[in-house]
A and B are shown apart, each in its own frame.
Chain A
């Protein structure tokens, strides 16, 4: 018996553990992956899946995507030495601005399929979630069609059968118009499932769907109308280019969608008007998160949540900044001078009188007096203040004989003639050529710059939101659509609302509304909001505005306000202080128009840039994808 005991014992032990079946023993649920059932077990779980999909939306410019996404197009000078390529290259890559994220599309499709099938979600929750996912999907298809033209329209999750033949997964590109039609029809289909709640900013609302529809229809309409100017930019299959006959239909839809928002049926939105100073008011549109009536859909940020951005760190005025950096985005003179005068006329900034003599100014800000309030709301001008501290932008002293005394560092000191004590001869904010983080164009950006304490420090950052759709753009969309439909009176009505908020209180009448006016208004109202590239593309103006030719000062200062005025190099406006103790002009300011020394390239938008390159990998994997024109 003793001999058998160990055998019996081991047999017992084996049978004891063996009770569990092998398959159960090996089948351990992973703790880091949720099954579809778990992910849709309730509204809060589904919402967190949706939050990831919200987070993956693609914007042209985004506050957490780096300041560089706001630079370029001669609207600003990049004041960081690692990014001077922006003003030194002579053309854009054909691949620039491309996006092709079908992984995202697949996840959106899966969300829609799984949420539809989820038994644990109530009907009302389900309806809203589905509408939101469809909104995100339509908005991303809109983003793709803006950049790539027609793309394969995939509305269900695709599965590979591992059969060795993937051809059934290869879809050709849809027509450009079909993608726009899809965006418009989706917006119409989901708008009533979304809440008409102006207090909801970061999730999709009825107004967000309508604003998307309005912008998409407007883009499609203008591509149809102005595409005739560039017949080369089209493909025989319609993947690029929209027939001119479709223009009016799209413009009508754009106007209808805009009017639905304006009428208040999607909730009450209005132009932001809370501050007496019109420039502060304009800057505050982008800062005020307290029931802002203007923003429709935003990408929100929150301090101490992990979702914050360093836009203020990167772009705050360098002098007195909370970090040893800032000042990267320098709006160009090209943009600054485009802000019109209060009498609705365009004029260059008066640096010289009719005889070519410099104009002397008592105060730095005087040269900008009597202009559109949006100028000082968008740009930090020399002589103005940010966060209660004056910026120190001036390029040097000019002596009686016209010679210049300046330094090559921020706030450099030198002796003036006839003295032997060194004094400051250049501003602490520059401008000094090639000195990064100074105002090399003479200006800093103000839009999105957060005056809250700590917003300029890397450890805190900022929670200012990025506004994707706002009411003023809806008004401008309505104005453009009405103008194109031959209703200039209606267009003037919408445009005057936006202009009055900017202090341009002399109304434009129907006869004043021209295509140039429409182009101009969008450029100044929506500067640095990610519109200029797509606007110039859809009007087929991009290859004329960025034509690759060098720019002279006379090019710069003539034809301001003209839609097709070429703008290929960012210019600067530098203030100098007069040092001439014998003269009454001593201590006054003059301005000089200069081209920053680092600007050596010109912006050249080639016809092949109208639609971004679809790379060889994609086209090899799916031979049905046709190549973009002119590349």
Chain B
């Protein structure tokens, strides 16, 4: 009696082992493998923003309840997402980014339909309110000097005023209002000539000492919370 009971339990154990090892294959999907990547551009020119602050959403319909796959652009305006093959809709929600994303007549963000079949690169065209043109950043005598001109891109009824221009300097390559060791700001009222803006900061002492910094120029637009930036540069002091 006792031994037969033992027998049964071993048998059960064996069966469950089989089930467990076999179950992995049968029940599960392969992980998503298609990479969708790209950047936000204006007429092919990259638009730089602050990392983790400007978000986008991808929707896929046909699977019951609808919720977005959300992500944020990095500093260079690059996004990337690993997805299953299929049809997706891409939007940038209203109020995100220092640019205008196309909208439907009702004011909702319009979508871009993306058909994913394997890896894909797709740049997203946006219209920034302003652009920083010909940024020149130089370093010397422990100072960083930046010059640039500001071009207003959107001039129609939805044009917005310039609020301020800032030069940010940081030890690492994350450079923004939140990540900097020193900054200089010029408010719009103090900008005499938008074609010739000059900013300068004195680089403070860094621990541990390093002989280079990263810098970029950020532009604040009135009523828009995300700044638009010039490309990141590394400067030797």
Contacts and interface: CB of A to CB of B under 8 A. Distances in A.
A230 to B, nearest CB: 8
A599 to B, nearest CB: 12
B68 interface: yes
Nearest to A550: B180
Interface stretch (A100-108, A183-191, A490-498, A600-608): A600-608
Contact of A629 (B52, B95, B223): B95
Contacts of A629: 94-95
B178 A602 contact: yes
Interface in B216-237: 223, 225
Interface string A535-548: 00000000100011
A232 interface: yes
Looking at chain A, what size class is its interface with the partner chain? 20 to 34
B177 interface: yes
Contacts of B96: 630
16 contacts: A90-B52, A236-B107, A543-B225, A548-B177, A549-B177, A550-B177, A601-B178, A604-B53, A607-B225, A616-B66, A617-B65, A617-B67, A620-B65, A620-B67, A629-B95, A630-B96
B198 interface: no
Contacts of B183: 549-550
Contacts of B178: 90, 548-550, 601-602, 604
Contact of A608 (B66, B68, B95, B223): B95
Nearest to A602: B178
Interface in A593-622: 601-602, 604, 606-608, 616-617, 620-621
A606 B54 CA distance: 11
Contacts of A232: 95, 223
A231 B94 CA distance: 13
A245 B170 CA distance: 46
A433 interface: no
Interface in B78-96: 93-96
A45 interface: no
Contact of A616 (B68, B179, B223): B68
Contacts of A602: 177-178
B94 A630 contact: yes
Interface of B: 52-53, 65-68, 93-96, 107, 177-180, 183, 223, 225
7 interchain residue pairs of minimum CB distance: A630-B95, A616-B67, A620-B65, A549-B177, A602-B178, A90-B178, A548-B178
Nearest to A236: B107
Contacts of B223: 231-232
Contacts of A604: 53, 178
* Most chain B C-beta atoms within 10 Å of own C-beta, residue among A547, A602, A631: A631
A232 B66 CA distance: 25
A239 to B, nearest CB: 14
Contacts of B225: 543, 606-607, 630
Interface string A516-556: 00000000000000000000000000010001111000000
A375 B183 CA distance: 33
Contacts of B177: 547-550, 602
A91 interface: yes
Given A616-B66, A620-B65, A607 B95 contact: yes
Nearest to B170: A550
B95 A620 contact: no
Interface of A is mostly: loop
A91 B180 CA distance: 16
Nearest to A233: B95
Contacts of B53: 91, 604, 606
A621 B223 CA distance: 33
* Most chain B C-beta atoms within 10 Å of own C-beta, residue among A91, A231, A607, A621: A607
Given A549-B177, A617-B65, A617-B67, 18 more contacts: A90-B178, A232-B95, A236-B107, A543-B225, A550-B178, A601-B178, A602-B177, A602-B178, A604-B53, A604-B178, A606-B225, A607-B95, A608-B95, A620-B65, A630-B94, A630-B95, A630-B96, A631-B95
A267 B128 CA distance: 60
B216 to A, nearest CB: 15
Contacts of A548: 177-178
A620 B66 contact: yes
Interface string A98-123: 00000000000000000000000000
Contacts of B67: 616-617, 620
Nearest to A547: B177
Contacts of A621: 65
B191 to A, nearest CB: 19
Contacts of B65: 616-617, 620-621
Interface in A214-244: 231-232, 236
* Most chain B C-beta atoms within 10 Å of own C-beta, residue among A91, A231, A548: A548
Interface string A76-96: 000000000000001100000
A524 B178 CA distance: 27
Nearest to B223: A232
Nearest to B65: A620
Contacts of B93: 630-631
Contacts of A631: 93, 95
A66 to B, nearest CB: 27
B206 to A, nearest CB: 15
A213 B225 CA distance: 34
A272 B65 CA distance: 54
A547 B226 CA distance: 11
Nearest to A603: B178
A231 B223 CA distance: 9
Nearest to B181: A550
B161 to A, nearest CB: 14
Contacts of A607: 95, 225
A629 B94 CA distance: 7
Contacts of A606: 53, 225
A629 B177 CA distance: 23
Nearest to A90: B178
Nearest to A629: B95
B178 to A, nearest CB: 5
A606 B66 CA distance: 25
A91 B50 CA distance: 12
B150 to A, nearest CB: 20
Contacts of A231: 223
Contacts of A616: 65-68
A436 B218 CA distance: 37
A620 B67 CA distance: 8
Contacts of B179: 90, 550
A630 B101 CA distance: 13
A175 B65 CA distance: 26
A91 B225 CA distance: 13
Contacts of B180: 550
Contacts of A620: 65-67
Contacts of A630: 93-96, 225
* Most chain B C-beta atoms within 10 Å of own C-beta, residue among A550, A608, A616, A617: A550
Nearest to A608: B95
A236 B105 CA distance: 13
Contacts of B107: 236
A85 to B, nearest CB: 15
Contacts of A601: 178
A528 B183 CA distance: 32
B86 to A, nearest CB: 19
A353 B182 CA distance: 25
A617 B66 CA distance: 8
A274 to B, nearest CB: 46
A227 to B, nearest CB: 14
A631 B57 CA distance: 10
